[in-house]
Chain A
Amino acid sequence: MANRLLEVEGLAKHFRGGGNWLTSGGDAIRAVDGVSFHVEAGETFALVGESGCGKTTVAKMILLLERPTRGSISFQGQDVSGFRGGGLREYKRMVQAVFQDPYSSLNPRMQVLDIIGEPLRVHQGLRGRTLRMRVGELLENVGLNPVTASFFPHQFSGGQRQRIAIARALALRPQLIVLDEPVSGLDVSIRAQILNLLVDLQRDLGLSYLLISHDLAIVEHMSHRVGVMYVGKMVELATRDEFYGNTLHPYSNALLASVPKPDPDIPMGTTIGGEVASPINPPSGCRFHTRCPIYLETSMCREVEPDWREILSEHLTACHKVEPAVV
């Protein structure tokens, strides 16, 4: 409770289905349907799930790129949707983002100086020599030569581009950085470098990260707490050690089991059967019951939506089959 930097409460985003003013709209796509979590100061909170489960939509709402249908986002105890003028500027200074694709997130027409310098220009009005100096420092922070400030994005490799994107996110000394699949677009050999850079920066600058990923190995390496999403809902939330040591929800179990182990003698993990349920018409009851390995034709799972309960201390899940150990 002490240091809640970002708090998300019952967040939902429904996109209106196809159709225009001539045809009646289709069913709403419930991309995110009631998600609650918080990010503490200085920690990494990981949001995990298969593609299409709404992770990125949550990130976009936090970054004010999408407007929530329901629910609230508070930053340092203040409701984000109420920010105007100076408050909004301050929020945009303190919350930055690094996206998945380093080829799309850097403007190909801008020099690195202008890319990293953009937040400094907008918020601090830096120009000329001071801007050049500051950008040079930032490039060094992320392990690039300051001379590269005059280069264009196409002159860098994917990993170097991602470093530039990180330098840009650091420019305003933010408190929270939303990392949306920060290494998925990179070669495996580069990933560790970027992840270690992020960890070092967090330690040195006291940053908080909201890490969005589908890669459980990366999440184990980086995060302090983990939240698992399935079709727009949070199904499990726990500290990292709790999550990896004492998984409660069958979906989380299945996700963990499907991670391949780097040992040829261990057989490939089991995979979950079936397709991710559609957010347009999510299954009734527990959304996972169509694929759940421990689902036994009980009407409970099929008809009643499971409550979001704290099973153990700081370990929440939404499953009928899991009995609370502490009440």
Chain B
Amino acid sequence: MANTTIQTAVPASAWLVRVRSSLSVARRVPKIPTAVLLVLMIFALFGQWIAPHSPVAVDMANSFAPPVWHEEGTANNLLGTDKLGRDILSRLIRGARVSLSLSLFVIGLGGGVGVALGLISGYAGGKVDAVMQRGIEVILAMPTILVALVFVFAVGRSFESVILILSPFLAARFARIVRGETLSVRERDFVAIAKVIGTPAWMILLRHILPNVFNTIIVLATLEVGHLILLESSLSFLGVGVPPPQPAWGLMVADGREFLTSAYWITLFPGLCILAAVLSLNLFGDWLRDTLDPRRRQL
């Protein structure tokens, strides 16, 4: 094994080792995905000062203006305008906030609850597990869109209601997968030893099982962001998503759908944004997973 040098090496101080390792971790951050995510984050946080126009200002005289590189394009609307003459670039920048924060809230709320339920269900086993899994199956069997329609009609169309209705579905997916992983990790010897020691169950879950299912959670979370952005667009298309004047990428794709042949830019640019966000998140998630795994991290 590579560690035969451990005993003979000059005993470096633990502090030095830590500094060196964090430097090498920082060096290997994936540059492009991180840059993309940073830009999107800046858009989401400071969009109102960056966007050249108001994202909701209607200008019918200027509708369907093409992007700047077309003959009729103007520098005033770099990426063109939609059917109501709203500036696409401004809507994309402001839409970052809606799309990303919606995904983050749903991942945070639904994913958090789902991970907790999955851990408990997998670790407790027996009747607790059976009851929880039947509940999760009920949720997974429900058609998301249909339930969302009913819910939003009942509660009213808002950003919050979209979060509230998507979270349980996400929680069910997380709970199912985390439970499966938990089942395998809890059979490992270090969990048995922890029980022998008398470590309380919550500590076994947090210190032994959670870190060992973290890979799965990261991968699932990054995949689900893309899924959520698309789900939001479906809901918007059906009229139960984020309320219309607010720009959201999925909504923009849905809006431009009927003009695909005549004005591709209405759909293309929000589509590219979704692609960039999802791809960057996946690559960033891969890096995060590798970094959090001590076996892949080299000192």
Contacts and interface: CB of A to CB of B under 8 A. Distances in A.
Interface of A: 63-65, 88-89, 92-93, 95-97, 99, 101, 104-110, 114, 118-119, 122-123, 145, 147-152, 154-157, 160, 165, 168, 172
A149 B2 CA distance: 17
Interface stretch (B40-48, B118-126, B207-215, B238-246): B207-215
B6 A151 contact: yes
A101 B197 CA distance: 18
Contacts of A123: 197-198
B294 interface: yes
Contacts of B143: none
Nearest to B199: A122
A285 B96 CA distance: 77
Contact of B212 (A92, A105, A107, A154): A107
Contacts of A154: 294-295
Shortest 4 CB-CB distances between A and B: which pairs?
Answer: A92-B198, A105-B189, A109-B211, A152-B294
B131 to A, nearest CB: 14
B193 A155 contact: no
B192 A110 contact: no
B129 to A, nearest CB: 14
B11 A119 contact: no
A168 B198 CA distance: 13
B14 A147 contact: yes
Nearest to B6: A148
Contacts of A109: 211-212, 214, 293-294
Nearest to B197: A119
Nearest to A171: B197
Contacts of B2: 155
Contacts of A64: 195-196
A81 to B, nearest CB: 16
A96 B28 CA distance: 42
B190 A145 contact: no
A85 B230 CA distance: 52
B293 to A, nearest CB: 8
A104 B207 CA distance: 15
Interface in B183-209: 188-190, 192-200, 203, 207-208
B261 interface: no
B294 A107 contact: no
Pick the most buried of B12, B17, B190: most chain A CB atoms within 10 A of its CB.
B190
A150 B193 contact: no
B22 to A, nearest CB: 13
B198 A89 contact: yes
A62 to B, nearest CB: 10
A122 B212 contact: no
25 contacts: A64-B195, A64-B196, A65-B192, A89-B198, A93-B198, A95-B196, A96-B197, A97-B192, A97-B196, A101-B189, A105-B190, A107-B190, A107-B208, A108-B212, A108-B294, A109-B214, A109-B293, A109-B294, A118-B199, A122-B197, A147-B12, A147-B14, A155-B299, A156-B3, A157-B3
B138 interface: no
A150 B196 contact: no
Interface in B14-36: 14, 17-18
A187 to B, nearest CB: 11
A287 to B, nearest CB: 29
A157 B7 CA distance: 12
B154 interface: no
Contacts of B196: 63-65, 92, 95-97
Contacts of A97: 192-193, 196
Contacts of A99: 189, 192-193
Contacts of B11: 145, 147
Nearest to B200: A122
Given A95-B196, A147-B11, A107 B211 contact: yes
B14 A150 contact: yes
Contacts of A114: 207
A110 B6 contact: no
Contacts of B7: 145
A155 B193 CA distance: 21
Nearest to B15: A150
A156 B7 CA distance: 11
B155 interface: no
Contacts of A110: 207-208, 211
B18 A150 contact: yes
Nearest to A165: B193
A150 B203 contact: no
A157 B1 CA distance: 6
B190 A152 contact: no
A107 to B, nearest CB: 4
Nearest to A150: B14
Contacts of A145: 6-7, 11
A179 to B, nearest CB: 13
A77 to B, nearest CB: 21
Contacts of B190: 104-107
Nearest to A95: B196
